[in-house]
Amino acid sequence: DVQLQASGGGLVQTGGSLRLSCTISGFAFGSYAMSWFRQAPGKEREVVSCIVSSDGNKYYADSVKGRFTISSDNAKKTAYLQMNSLKPEDTAVYYCAAQIPLMYGSSWYTFSRTSSWNLWGQGTQVTVSS
């Protein structure tokens, strides 16, 4: 079975940094995309960032541009989310997701929809204290 395993997260003060990792297992060939979503208490799950394996295109939500950086190691089938200058409003459970195989013609609009992602990892808590 293809699975996602996420790691990272934790408690950090405002202005601090954290790095999340997400690895795909059970999948060897083909193009795919990976993303990070987050869900704060009482709010809907929202997209944070995504990356396409074949061309390296990256997308970011406006709320994290300039602070978060997504990257990937295709050989390891792993995506990373480096989160800097963290704010209390970044507090949420963060979920990684994958689109396998990649749906060509996807855009930020489609990537931002939870229904576009067919594989989800377990959530990891990120808490930013003020």
pLDDT given at position 43: 97
- Reported as a pLDDT band with limits 50, 70 and 90, residue 28 is confident
Q: Give me 18's structure tokens.
A: 């954290």
User: Model confidence over 104-117: pLDDT tens digits?
Assistant: 888 889 999 999 99
* % the chain with pLDDT above 70: 100
Higher-pLDDT residue of 2 and 17 is: 17
Question: What is the mean pLDDT of the segment spanning 18-39?
Answer: 92
Q: Residue 90 in contact with residue 39, Cβ under 8 Å? A: no
Residue 100 to residues 3, 28, 29, 114, 126, Cα–Cα distance (Å)? 11, 11, 10, 14, 26
Provide the pLDDT confidence category of residue 27 given band limits of 50, 70 and 90: confident
Distance CA 23, CA 104 (A): 22
72-98 pLDDT, tens per residue?
999 999 999 999 999 999 999 999 999
Query: Of all residues in the chain, what percent carry a pLDDT higher than 90?
Result: 83
Instruction: Tell me which of 30 and 61 has the higher pLDDT.
Output: 61
Mean pLDDT of all residues in the chain?
Answer: 94
